[in-house]
Amino acid sequence: MLATVGVFLILTLSLNLDAGYCGIPNFGKVLAMIAGAFVVAFFPGRILASILGLSGDFVVDNASMIFQINNFLASDILISVALFIATIIVAVGFGMLVGYVSTRPAVKIGSGPLAIMLLAMGEGMRVIGINYAPLAGGSIGISAPDVFAWAGGDRFVVASVVLFAFSVAIFFYINRLTNAPLGRMLRAVRDNEIAAESLGINIVSVKLKTMMISSAIAAIAGALYAFYSGAVISTAYTRASWTFIPWAMMLLGGSANNVGVVGGVFTFVFLRKIIVMYKTELGPYLPFDVLWLELILYGVMVILILLYRPEGLIPEKRTKTLDLGTIKKLQKA
């Protein structure tokens, strides 16, 4: 639960920043997610293979090389932590680059073309990963160095706690960001671009910077998920899992409300766990394969939310610039 909540919380918070607050129709959230995963697939393993002097092709000889790399990491916690931090930093940089490249061509044209651009590039990145084996092992996938190998039998517990700690830190960062004057500026761009531009706000610059920040955060989610699972398989990064579900979580919890996003993520993850736990019992009563139950329930839930409670479980709250008491103190000063 911790690991799943952590990944989806980071990803949905990043979506809430660009779509909820700034109004960018980001239907390609999987793009930044898979970018972070590709950094884990490509960067740390080759670095360690070079340091350890391992010969061979990292993709072809992946199993034997990862075995030796993980044995080394299991005995050196400092190298593991340093490699983990370095990979996260590279993922942030690559995520920002991907966010800029995917947004810049269409940001001036309008929301429709930008939405299509992001959707197409998200699918394109997955196709590249499937067909270009040197990047992430092609359709078979590739194993990643286990930077938590030093934890031994508690490996998954430690990884889950680290992942969840990242999600909590990112929640406070985005919450602070959106409750600052920047958050009010993003809402102004979302609500009325012409009015915002008349006040001197550079719409293109604001959207580009917002996408770069949100893409960097989503790339962190991708890198953390790849480290946690220990492998990167391009076919697993689908639009349904990493774009549609975060949108559903955001809509359920409340767009432009970070606390609402937390509630939406916990609700959906809990629902998923219930389905997984009782799918055997539910199977005989369903007219279709139980594997489709999760996506069908998500789709029905999104339709019901949009029809009967489009503001979500916790509606967006307006942030005040300054309270009356602070204004009076400033006037006296």
pLDDT bracket for residue 46 (50, 70, 90)? very high
- What's residue 203's pLDDT? 95
Do 73 and 145 form a contact (C-beta atoms < 8 A)? yes
Given the DSSP bridges, would you call strands 231-232 and 142-143 parallel, antiparallel or unpaired? antiparallel
Q: How far apart are CA 333 and CA 331, in angstroms?
A: 5
pLDDT bracket for residue 231 (50, 70, 90)? very high
Which one-letter DSSP state was computed for residue 142? E
- Summarised one tens digit per residue, pLDDT across range 84-134 is 999 999 999 999 999 999 999 999 998 899 999 999 999 999 999 999 999
- What's residue 140's pLDDT? 92
- What's residue 287's pLDDT? 87
Gyration radius of the chain over CA positions: 21
Instruction: Quote the mean pLDDT of the chain.
Output: 92
Do 249 and 268 form a contact (C-beta atoms < 8 A)? yes
| 41 φ/ψ angles, rounded to the nearest 5 degrees | -70, -35
| Residue carrying structure tokens 């490699």 | 83
- Summarised one tens digit per residue, pLDDT across range 165-221 is 999 999 999 999 998 888 889 999 999 999 999 999 999 999 999 999 999 999 999
Q: Is residue 297 predicted with pLDDT exceeding 90?
A: no
Q: Is residue 42 predicted with pLDDT exceeding 90?
A: yes
pTM of the model: 0.93
Q: Is residue 323 predicted with pLDDT exceeding 80?
A: no
Q: Is residue 22 predicted with pLDDT exceeding 80?
A: yes
Q: How far apart are CA 159 and CA 73, in angstroms?
A: 15
Give the ranges where the chain is alpha helix by DSSP (H): 2-15, 29-52, 62-74, 77-103, 111-131, 133-136, 155-178, 181-191, 193-198, 203-229, 239, 245-253, 258-282, 293-308, 324-332
The SS3 call for residue 290 is helix
Query: Which residues make Cβ contacts (< 8 Å) with residue 133, sequence separation at least 6?
Result: 59
Instruction: Write out the H or E segment, with its range, that includes residue 143.
Output: strand 142-143
Q: How far apart are CA 234 and CA 137, in angstroms?
A: 8
Strand partners, 232: 142
Do 52 and 68 form a contact (C-beta atoms < 8 A)? yes
Q: Is residue 156 predicted with pLDDT exceeding 90?
A: yes
| CA quadruple 225, 144, 31, 292: dihedral sign | negative
| Residue carrying structure tokens 């996408």 | 211
**Closest C-alpha among 264, 256, 261, 263 to residue 316:** 256
Query: What whole-number percentage of the chain has pLDDT above 70?
Result: 98
Q: What mean pLDDT is predicted for residues 18-40?
A: 96
pLDDT bracket for residue 320 (50, 70, 90)? low
Which one-letter DSSP state was computed for residue 17? I
| Residue carrying structure tokens 């517990």 | 157
pLDDT bracket for residue 44 (50, 70, 90)? very high
Q: Is residue 8 predicted with pLDDT exceeding 70?
A: yes
- What's residue 329's pLDDT? 82
- What's residue 322's pLDDT? 67
Query: Which residues make Cβ contacts (< 8 Å) with residue 200, sequence separation at least 6?
Result: none
Do 31 and 98 form a contact (C-beta atoms < 8 A)? yes
- What's residue 288's pLDDT? 84
- What's residue 171's pLDDT? 97
**Closest C-alpha among 108, 106, 93, 105 to residue 32:** 93
Q: How far apart are CA 46 and CA 41, in angstroms?
A: 9
- Summarised one tens digit per residue, pLDDT across range 129-152 is 999 999 999 999 999 999 999 999
Q: Is residue 294 predicted with pLDDT exceeding 90?
A: no
Q: Is residue 239 predicted with pLDDT exceeding 80?
A: yes
